[in-house]
Amino acid sequence: MKILLTNEAGCFHPGIVALAKELCKDHRVCIVAPLTKQVGAGHSLTVDQRPLHAEQWFVLDNVKIWSVDGTPCDCVALALDKLLLDKPDMIITGIDPVNNRGNMIYTSGVVSTAIEGAIQGIKSIAVSAVIANEKKERAYRKVAKFVARRLEFLAKHTPDYGVLNVNFPEKVKPKNIMPTHLTDGLLDNEYEIEVNPFGSTFAWLKSPLMEFGLDAYEQKADLYWLKQGYITMTPLKLDLLKGEAVTALQKAGIKL
C-alpha cells in the first residue's frame, strides 16, 4: 500500500517518525509535513503570493521525507499535486501528542489534513494520543504498532469521502476500542491580556489544550470514553449540512 504521512508538529517530530518506521516495513511510505510546528492551523492554505519552499531530506531508510514551510494542509495539497509520483492509497496524519476530540477537530491541523485528503477522494485517518513525554520517539511506538497492525481494519472502516478520527487514551493499556460520537460543547478558551508601556495590547492563549466544561462528560461521547481508558474511533463526514435546518428554511418561505 502507498501511504502518505503528514502532521501539524513538523516532519521530524518523533510521532510521525515512529509511525513511518512501523509502516515502511510492509508499505511504501512518504512523509510530507510542515518544516516547523503548526498547531491549531486548522484547514488553512497559503493562497497569497508567498511561495512555498519544499525540500527533500534523506534521514530515514526506505522513507522519502519532504518538508514544506507552510500549513499542514499545504503539505497534503502540494504532495498530491506535485511531490508524489503516484497517488497514495491512504493518508495517515499524526501521531498528535494531544487528543483531538469534540469541537477541537475544527482547529486541529492533524484532522484538517486528513479532511484535505478525503476531499481528494483518498481514505484518510487522523491519529492522536495522550503522550506525556512527547519528545521521545519510544513514547509513540505502542500507538504506531497498533496502527500498522490494524491498518486493514482502519482502512475498511474509514468512510468514503470522510475521515476516521482515532484517539488513544492516557492509559498505557487501553481497555478496548469504542466507536463513538464527538463531544458537543463549548471550549473553555482563556486568554491572558497585557498592555505594554506604549499602549499596545497583547494576548496569549493560556489554555492551549482548550478543555471542555464538566457537563461534556455527561454525553458519553469521545471525551468520556477516553477518560475511561478506551481507544475512540469517530467517522467524520465532509458534509456539514444539517438537513432538518434546511427543511425548516424551505418551509419558512422567506422572501425578499
DSSP string for 20-36? HHHHTTTSEEEEEEESS
Q: Which of helix, strand or coil describes residue 208? A: coil
Question: What are the residue boundaries of the structural domains of the chain, listed by start?
Answer: 2-181+215-247
How far apart are alpha carbons 41 and 37 in whole angstroms?
9
pLDDT tens, position by position, 5-36: 999 999 999 999 999 999 999 999 999 999 99
Give the pLDDT confidence score for residue 110 in this predicted structure. 96
In angstroms, the CA 216 to CA 187 distance is 10
Indicate if the pLDDT at residue 225 is higher than 90. yes
Question: Are the CB atoms for 72 and 96 separated by under 8 Å?
Answer: no
CATH top class, domain 2-181+215-247: alpha beta
3-state secondary structure of 130: coil
- What mean pLDDT is reported for the chain? 91
In this structure, the number of other CB atoms found within 10 A of the CB of residue 155 comes to 15
Please tell me the predicted confidence (pLDDT) of residue 170. Answer: 86
Between CA 173 and CA 143 the distance in angstroms is 11
pTM over 0.85: yes
**How do residues 73-128 score in pLDDT, each as one tens digit?**
999 999 999 999 999 999 999 999 999 998 889 889 999 999 999 999 999 999 99
Rounded distance between C-alpha atoms, residue 128 and residue 146, angstroms: 12
Residue for cell digits 418551509?
A: 251
